[in-house]
Chain A
Amino acid sequence: MSVSLPAQPMRGTTRRRLAINQFREQEHRDEAAVDAFLRGRQVPIIEGAKCTFLFRGHADEVHLLHRIVNQPQRVPLRRVEGTSLWYVIIELPFGSRVEYQLELTRDGHTVQGNDPLNPLVAHSPVGSSSVCQAVGYQTPEWTQHDPEARPGELHDLHLPSKALRRETTHRLYLPARFRRSSTYPLLVVHDGDDYLNYASMKTVLDNLIHHLDMAETIVVFANPGDRTREYANYAPHARHLVAELVPHLEEHYPVMRRPDGRALMGASFGAVASMSVAFRNPELFGSLLLQSGSFVFTDIGNDHGGGPAFDPVVKFMNRYRARPRKIADRLFVSCGVYEPLIVPNRSMVPVWESTGSTVRYVEARDGHSWENWRDRLRDGLSWIYPGPQKFVYE
Chain B
Amino acid sequence: MRAEDRPGTPHASITLLGPQRTPRVDAVLRSLRLHGARTAIINAGWQEREPEDELLVSLTGGNALNLRLWHRMQEVWDADPEFDAADRQRRMVLEEMQDLYVIALDHVISALRTMRDRVPRSPEVQQLALADAEQIMRQIDQRHLERVNEVHADFWGRWPPHERRPVEVLRQQISSELADVEVVLVPGGHVGVLVGALHLFNIAPQLRVPIVAWGAGAMALTDRVVLFHDRAAHGPSVSEVFTSGLGLVRDTVALPAARERLEVSNLFRMGVLARRFSPARCLLLDERARVDIPPGSGLPDDAPVLADDGTPTLLERVR
Contact = CB atoms under 8 A, between A and B. Distances in A.
A106 B242 CA distance: 70
B232 A393 contact: no
Range for the number of chain A residues in contact with chain B: 20 to 34
Contacts of B228: 390
Contacts of B240: 390
Contact of B191 (A378, A379, A392): A392
Given A177-B48, A388-B190, A393 B257 contact: yes
B234 A391 contact: no
A389 interface: yes
A386 B234 CA distance: 9
B227 A394 contact: no
Contacts, number: 59
B44 interface: no
Interface in A190-234: 208, 213-214
Contacts of A177: 48
A260 B95 CA distance: 11
B189 A392 contact: yes
Interface string A356-394: 000010000000000000000011001100101111111
A390 B227 contact: yes
B234 A394 contact: no
Interface string B95-127: 000010000000000000000000000000000
A287 B256 CA distance: 32
B131 to A, nearest CB: 27
B317 interface: no
A213 B233 contact: yes
Interface core residue of A4, A379, A391, A393 (most chain B CB under 10 Å)? A393
Interface in B133-179: none
B272 interface: no
A390 B216 contact: no
B38 interface: no
Interface in B244-290: 256-257
Contacts of A389: 229, 232-233
Contact of A394 (B48, B193, B256): B256
Contacts of A393: 188-189, 191, 215-216, 218-219, 256-257
A2 B236 CA distance: 13
Interface string A163-205: 0000000000000010000000000000000000000000000
B237 interface: yes
Contacts of B191: 391-393
A379 B234 contact: yes
Interface of A: 2, 4, 177, 208, 213-214, 260, 360, 378-379, 382-383, 386, 388-394
27 contacts: A2-B235, A177-B48, A213-B232, A214-B233, A360-B234, A378-B233, A378-B234, A379-B234, A382-B232, A383-B234, A388-B190, A389-B229, A389-B233, A390-B229, A390-B232, A391-B191, A391-B216, A391-B227, A392-B190, A392-B191, A392-B216, A393-B191, A393-B219, A393-B256, A393-B257, A394-B215, A394-B256
